[in-house]
Copies of this chain bind each other. A is one copy, B any other.
Amino acid sequence: MQRTPLNDMACSIARTLDVAGEWWTPLILRDIYVGIRRFEQIRTDLGISRRILTARLETLVDAGVVEREPYQENPPRFDYVLTEKGRELVVAILALMAWGDKWAAPDGPPALIHHRSCGHIARPEVVCSYCAQPLDAEDLQIREGPGARRGPGTRHIARALQ
């Protein structure tokens, strides 16, 4: 897949995709998160090429989302582990998973999330940090923020936001 400089856009969706939006990347993060941490395990779990997996992991390490933890010195071998930045990204990806569980899981959810501290199966819900109510797209108005800028990928959007 061709990389487009989403990073240049004044848009936090685009900048997130710049790190996490490459084809396979969310599934690589999924695997690392559930404990599939070694290059060959991830590669065979997903059935992808060494070249693609190497490139994707490089993006993630460069972005500080994943780090390498040596488990063998000679030859050097690593576990890939999530950083705090990566763990928070996984939580956002769980919101995408919840959407798939609702809209694209005819046989029921392939995975369940056990919330240790509350003891229940959690459905990730996206809520307002202020009032804690689930966000409804029709009840929101998107406004320009301090980091807004007109440019590639945001040519008309500033006008749309007002």
Q: Does A154 sit within 8 A of B, measured CB to CB?
A: yes
Q: Are A47 and B12 in contact (CB under 8 A)?
A: no
User: So how many copies of this chain end up in the complex?
Assistant: 2
Mostly, the A contact residues are mixed
Q: Are A105 and B147 in contact (CB under 8 A)?
A: yes
Q: Are B147 and A16 in contact (CB under 8 A)?
A: no
Q: Are A12 and B109 in contact (CB under 8 A)?
A: yes
Given A110-B11, A144-B111, verify A45-B154 contact (CB < 8 Å): yes
Q: Are A156 and B126 in contact (CB under 8 A)?
A: no
4 tightest A-B contacts by CB?
A12-B100, A108-B146, A118-B131, A107-B147
Q: A137 is contacted by which of B90, B125, B128, B154 (Cβ under 8 Å)? A: B90
Q: Does A95 sit within 8 A of B, measured CB to CB?
A: yes
Q: Does A103 sit within 8 A of B, measured CB to CB?
A: yes
Q: Does A133 sit within 8 A of B, measured CB to CB?
A: yes
Q: Are B126 and A95 in contact (CB under 8 A)?
A: yes
Q: Does A74 sit within 8 A of B, measured CB to CB?
A: no
Q: Are A105 and B154 in contact (CB under 8 A)?
A: no
